[in-house]
Structure 1
Amino acid sequence: MPHPELSDPPALTPGGLRVVPLGGLGDIGRNMTVFEHEGRLLLVDCGVLFPEDHQPGVDLVLPDFSWIRDRLGDVEALVLTHGHEDHVGATPYLLRERPDIPLVGSRLTLALLEPKLREHRLRQSVQHVVAEGDTISFGPFQLELVAVNHSIPDALAVAIRTTAGLVLHTGDFKMDQLPLDGRLTDLRAFARLGEEGVDLFLTDSTNAETPGFTTAETSITPVLDQVFAGAQGRLVVACFASHVHRVQQVLDAAVAHGRKVGYVGRSMVRNMAIARDLGYLRVPEGVVVEAKELAGLPPERQVLVSTGSQGEPMSALSRMAQGSHQLVQVGEEDTVVLASSLIPGNETAVYRVINGLAGLGARVVHQGNALVHVSGHASAGELLYCYNIVRPRAVMPVHGEVRHLRANAELARRTGVPDVVVAGDGVVVDLVDGRADVVGRVPCEYVYVDGSSVGQVTESDLKDRRILGEEGFLSVVAVLDLERGAVLAAPEVHARGNALQGVDFTDVRAEVVAALTEALADGTTDVQQLQQVLRRTLGRWVSRTHRRRPMIVPVVVVA
């Protein structure tokens, strides 16, 4: 990450504004930013990051709350820009530590969050439902909410006014000129704020490397229509459980082609019910039925809208690809549509699902072979446009991997922004007298959720798990008579893991006996030292003969 040499930040200059990202700068996920002014804190977003293959056993990755843990009483509010998991999913874990933090968000955003709070058995905190154009104050922070469009309805940017200056945070956004819900990104508000004078502009970087403008959502409609028209059997459409716009397009296509729709996946069922009840999803009469009822219809009349577009192992789509789903057995003449983008790090899992479905005879339509998904993020042309109408004094790219942040920074420089700050998670940026400067770093590590434990799994634990998964596990037991200096029986070697499946350990037993006998003859009687002899001997043999480095647990039993 940038600025590896930074130390603890100095005290904030009186009257200044401190900005500290606790996640989202270096990853696609766990977005969270802290603003400090006059001794008070404002939080924007609190999301999760989904684990990758090199994080075995991890369920979620959270922002690191350690820097603010002792100051949670200073938090004025948590502003949620939209309802995606990478912006709201960690909120229950924060509220476990202070349940009464006021929540600020749009109607849909807070409605999608509510079931998560119930699952964590959190009492409902004070919630402020806001909409574009609203202003609301918390302590020294005055907020103005601005409409932006994204791949979920009701997304908001937030302008933060303090005596230190004006900050504009876009959240995730794009500039779709033909949005399905008619809700445009409010560029007039962006321009008005620019005329007022934006001192620091925090901008979504996810698509900064992509030239031009992001394709409109409406361009998917005719492609979906063609897919529906050409499908002979069952249709399965996988997308994010919060992608209301995509589900709306599927419902409209189902009506046009005489099909019924069933939702598969708990989060999909829940979220679409919320969106329908609040009026964000228009559900034609009789088109949506229970998945069990749908299974009784002829395949050519079925459409399943499913979770699992990122290849999640336990998702409905993954189980269909493995042929183990309780209701749906995918086969010849079925069509599966993956209507979502590939989140970096998920490529292997997604292609595993695609290959599994293709192996069952299904036709698989995805972003690589058809326009069945468009991004929810502004591309380079849109970012340039925003810089030119906002004309900020300083820019701090947010929300993206390092390459995205740097690409976004270069776009800002090309438009003449005088001060561009490329930060990373935990990097402290102070806005003082209209100038933004990096002043230090605070602790900001990955916090892992593993089952019911939060923050108990360390990087060392993950290293051990990776070794177990990739290289295998060996235990070796030797029984010794220390007084006689003798090995009483041939050591027992037990292996676990696919990497060591079927290995014959006959040869190494003789090597282990010889090494132990030599150590005993040299006067070694310390059990720990003898265990090291066991580990080294067995480790060298496995490395030499099988090119593996398994985890080895040596046990010495003294008779």
Structure 2
Amino acid sequence: MSQSEDATELFYLPLGGVGEIGMNLSLYGCGGKWLMVDLGVSFGDDSMPMVDVVMADPAWIEERADKLVGLVLTHGHEDHLGAVGHLWRRLRCPVWATPFTASLLKGKLHEAGLHNDVPLTVVAPGSRFTVGPFEIEMISMTHSIPEPNTLAIRTKAGTVVHTGDWKFDPDPLLGPTADKEALRKAGKGGVLAVVGDSTNVFTRGHSGSESEVRGSLIELLGRFDGRIAVSCFATNVARLESIAVAAAANDRNVALVGRSLWRIDKAARENGYFADLPPFLTEHDAGYLPKDKVVYICTGSQGEPRAALARIASGDHPHVALGSGDVVIFSSRIIPGNEKEIYRLQNDLVRLGVEVVTEKDEFIHVSGHPAREEMEELYRLLRPKLAVPVHGEARHLQEHARLAKACGVPEAFEIGNGTMLRLAPGPVEVVDYVPTGRLCVDGPRLVRLDSEILRNRRRMVYNGSAVVTVVVDRNGKLMGDPQLTALGLLDAGHEAEEHDVVVEAIRDAIEELPLKAKRDDGIVRETARLAVRRSLKETHGKKPITDVHLVRI
């Protein structure tokens, strides 16, 4: 569908972040121009073998890059900015971000070799600026990272409020409280639609305050005499400060263990955070302290195998060792899908004699996303005509729509990635469905998650692979036994009999071919391939990826 250049028409099109949590990529269209809000990543799971980082495929807007007037980042979490370094070369648009977010982005751009290429404009929280036909107001909110922003996107067709990630924390410790007055003013001016976070829609009441966690940590750290390690999300700057304050209150020094924590520390100090904290110790220097004088803040709260805490638990860390009498505090929640990795990590720690404390045991974490009470307050402030739930799975979106209607919002649209909504003028309606997909980082390149490369890789992980070499003369007569390697399935040295059964099946299948077929390379290859798969299916219950090398002499 070709978009109208009528400035009274306003469209919303998500390419990522709807029906899922992560990979946020939203587009707003007006007057023939498009504005992108956020460009994030997600992380691989058990359904994506050997895939670490995944992002929405921007192909649709890439084809219209000349109409893309800019990218505005709501905050610095990976699921909102982590794809910029991977995808900017395809888009080549200017970028806007507040100072802390910009500091994090600059580090990523430097790693991607883009630090001199991306036109990045740093804007103050609460500021207004214009991007093409869009007037943007950054409304300061609270979240589990500094400088989260809700965007009031004003056009001639109407105003949309894009919440980003947010909550109403009455005492966030770092940064101001949410600017409810700006939200109220936006509501009085008329809000066409709220495109809003659905993450915690099932959580009753209020999400809680970061200040309450600080008090709990101070008391908790005082109970232990051994080494203390605390793991949390590295980007939760207020939590890092709370751990440091709690450690000082208990006469302990703090060391950072993990590169991402040092990157966050650098960005925080560049922007005036941690001003009252002394420099953190390195893991090496902390090793000289008595065990009752140290707190380690470690990466790896989600069980990431290469993070600091996993290396400590496996006894593989060069500077930090924990054992009997020590404690590890998980000051974080379990992100759905990470349960196995986290429980495995915690069990490894327990086997070392370490005591493990989680949010189920003590009050040591609050969410950065709004619970129902806060969502209801947001709708009272903004009074939109329409709610578009995003940043959640299908059940989250459905419940968010119900909540919005219960708050008096006339309409709520549950849509998916690739659904184009015309928000104005006239009745809201779906006007198009555009192709969507996912890209993943595969070494130095990006490949589609549904590509033949990754489909075959997944099949190899679950079914193994086989390579057969067949040597025949020009009439198709075998010049020797086929040579077989079945990786992940057969050990020729210890399973000689099973190996010979497959070789025999290949030989029999080729010898049974008619003479004309034996002279056809394609038929011989396919015959050998099918013989391998049938035989291994019968003996091992697997159909491996199979490649046949045919040599005709």
Measured against the shorter chain, the TM-score band is over 0.9
Say if 2:138 is the partner of 1:148: no
8 A contact 1:10–1:440 mirrored in 2 = no
Question: Alpha-carbon deviation of 1:226?
Answer: 4.1
Distance 1:548 1:455, change over 3 A: closer
Say if 2:467 is the partner of 1:472: no
Q: TM-score, normalised by structure 1?
A: 0.92
CA offsets per residue over residues 131-185 of structure 1, 9 Å max, x none?
Answer: 3432222232112221110001111111011110011111100112232236222
**1: CA distance, partners of 2:549 / 2:70:** 54
Distance 1:70 1:195, change over 3 A: same
8 A contact 1:20–1:33 mirrored in 2 = yes
Aligned to 2:487: 496
The one-letter amino acid paired with 1:376 is G
8 A contact 1:32–1:63 mirrored in 2 = yes
8 A contact 2:187–2:381 mirrored in 1 = yes
Aligned to 1:343: 335
Question: Alpha-carbon deviation of 1:434?
Answer: 5.3
**2: CA distance, partners of 1:132 / 1:209:** 30
Question: Alpha-carbon deviation of 1:523?
Answer: 4.5
**2: CA distance, partners of 1:201 / 1:346:** 30
Which of 150, 153, 160 is residue 157 of structure 1 equivalent to?
150
Distance 1:508 1:104, change over 3 A: closer
Aligned to 1:513: 507
Which has the higher relative contact order, 1 or 2, with Cα contacts under 8 A spaced 6 or more apart?
1
8 A contact 2:73–2:97 mirrored in 1 = yes
**1: CA distance, partners of 2:491 / 2:392:** 39
Aligned length: 549
**1: CA distance, partners of 2:214 / 2:32:** 50
Gaps of 5+ in 2: none
Say if 2:290 is the partner of 1:298: yes
Question: Alpha-carbon deviation of 1:419?
Answer: 1.7
Aligned to 1:320: 312
**2: CA distance, partners of 1:58 / 1:120:** 19
**1: CA distance, partners of 2:300 / 2:16:** 24
The one-letter amino acid paired with 2:308 is A
8 A contact 1:238–1:307 mirrored in 2 = yes
Distance 1:9 1:40, change over 3 A: closer
CA offsets per residue over residues 45-104 of structure 1, 9 Å max, x none?
Answer: 1111122222233342223221222433333332111111111111223432355x3322
Gaps of 5+ in 1: 1-7
Say if 2:429 is the partner of 1:437: yes
Same amino acid, percent of matched pairs = 36
Say if 2:380 is the partner of 1:375: no
**1: CA distance, partners of 2:229 / 2:166:** 28
8 A contact 1:262–1:290 mirrored in 2 = yes
Which of 348, 358, 365 is residue 366 of structure 1 equivalent to?
358
**2: CA distance, partners of 1:80 / 1:53:** 29
Question: Alpha-carbon deviation of 1:262?
Answer: 1.3
Aligned to 1:175: 168
Aligned to 1:47: 40
Distance 1:227 1:477, change over 3 A: farther
Which of 231, 253, 258 is residue 260 of structure 1 equivalent to?
253
Q: TM-score, normalised by structure 2?
A: 0.93
CA offsets per residue over residues 439-494 of structure 1, 9 Å max, x none?
Answer: 111222102221211236643322211222222222222333453x5433332221
Say if 2:237 is the partner of 1:244: yes
The one-letter amino acid paired with 2:331 is A
SS at match of 2:366: coil
Aligned to 1:446: 438
8 A contact 1:450–1:457 mirrored in 2 = no
SS at match of 1:333: coil
Distance 1:479 1:374, change over 3 A: same
SS at match of 1:58: coil
**2: CA distance, partners of 1:329 / 1:474:** 43
Aligned to 2:543: 549
**1: CA distance, partners of 2:139 / 2:84:** 22
1:378-417 aligned within 5 A: 378-417=370-409
